[in-house]
Amino acid sequence: MFIHGNASDSVYWEEVMAALPAGFRAIAPDLRGYGQTEDLLIDATRGVMDWVDDLLALLEALNIDRYHVVGHSLGGAVIWGLLAQDAPRILSVTLAAPGSPFGFGGTRDAEGNPTTPDFAGSGGGTVNPDFPARIARHDTSGEAGSPRDIINRFYWHPPFRSDREEALLEGLLREKTGPERYPGDFTASEHWPGMAPGVHGPINALSPKYVGNTVERLLAQTHKPPVLWVRGDSDQIVSDQSLFELGMLGLLGAVPGYPGQDAYPPQPMVSQTRHVLEKYGPYREVVFEGVGHTPYIEKPEAFMQEFTAHLERATQEVSL
């Protein structure tokens, strides 16, 4: 089961699905709020659990008992919740540039401690409103700040361009937008940068305010399926210096009023994932050089080599 990231949909997994070895069945749903799903709202106060419940319902409808799961970016963040909820049925986990298990924004160290009491700097208010507005009007231009421009500057490492750019752009543009959808609402905060999470939409669902005890729950599982973690060394979205996270943007002078690195350090997203996986147990980290946020599209052959070997190892362990 393949789980896509934010500002994308299941189309992003098509090439990997087509390249799977014989004997595997590939399923790639559109998450709630994305792609061709019906327009159901996301209750962000449940963290990623609306998506987890939807995926479990899909598996039940298809009579699937055990499965391998693969997630990219937001999809990786959903997998943290899926592992905490359904680990005994999962055969293996593959994470491609996953979101931090502690959420996106608002935490200060590898242990995921909050930067402020109200998790200011995370949630729907952190998204540049121009981007969802461009999605809403189906902007297919290549001008600065357009969805096409964001894909080619941040989804992968320039000068890479996908030969499926039009299909991938259309997948991005199918995301549902609005105050209760993407990016969601926000509340005022007395802490820098002046906004804290609201209660609607996918970006609020990724706030550490609502992730809750996900890490504690997944570490408490007795069955721990093996994890393959693949990322690019030039990822600017999920990084210890993410250009989409306000602590880093403040440090660079891009957000006014920055209180300094001691008060609001950049979120160390990669370090947080490594910290949790080292406590978790069976995992392997693979880093591709010169690759950005979407390693399975930028380096498909190298990704498939690692991925299929991971599937084979996990399948052999189950058969034993």
**How would you write the pLDDT of the chain (320 residues) with one tens digit per residue?**
999 999 999 999 999 999 999 999 999 999 999 999 999 999 999 999 999 999 999 999 999 999 999 999 999 999 999 999 999 999 999 999 999 999 999 999 999 999 999 999 999 999 999 999 999 999 999 999 999 999 999 999 999 999 999 999 999 999 999 989 999 999 999 999 999 999 999 999 999 999 989 999 999 999 999 999 999 999 999 999 999 999 999 999 999 999 999 999 999 999 999 999 999 999 999 999 999 999 999 999 999 999 999 999 998 876 55
What would you report as the CA-atom Rg of the chain, rounded to the nearest whole angstrom? Answer: 18
What is the pLDDT, as a whole number, of residue 319? 58
Among 7, 169, 146, 170, which Cα is nearest to 73's? 7
Among 13, 37, 43, 295, which Cα is nearest to 160's? 295
Triad 258, 259, 261: Cα angle to 5°: 95
What is the pLDDT, as a whole number, of residue 206? 98
Spatial strand order of the sheet with 67-72 comes to: 2-3, 67-72, 90-96, 227-232, 283-288
What is the pLDDT, as a whole number, of residue 315? 87
Contact criterion met (CB below 8 Å) for 30 and 3: no
Q: Give me 129's structure tokens.
A: 């409103």
DSSP 58-105: HHHHTT--SEEEEEETHHHHHHHHHHHHHGGGEEEEEEESPPPTT-SS
Chain mean position to CA 87: 19
Q: Domains (ranges, CATH) in the chain?
A: 2-319 (3.40.50.1820)
β-strand pairing of 182-183 with 186-188:
unpaired
Among 141, 52, 33, which Cα is nearest to 90's? 52
- d(CA 137, CA 153) in angstroms, rounded, equals 21
- d(CA 248, CA 244) in angstroms, rounded, equals 8
Strand partners, 288: 232
Largest CA distance in the chain: 58
Residue 48 makes CB contacts below 8 A (sequence gap 6+) with: 77, 78, 80, 81, 205, 206, 211, 214
Query: How distant, in Å, are the alpha carbons of 12, 97, 109, 319 from that of 75?
Result: 12, 9, 22, 28
Q: What are the backbone dihedrals phi and psi of residue 70, each rounded to the nearest 5 degrees, phi first? A: -130, 135
What is the pLDDT, as a whole number, of residue 316? 83
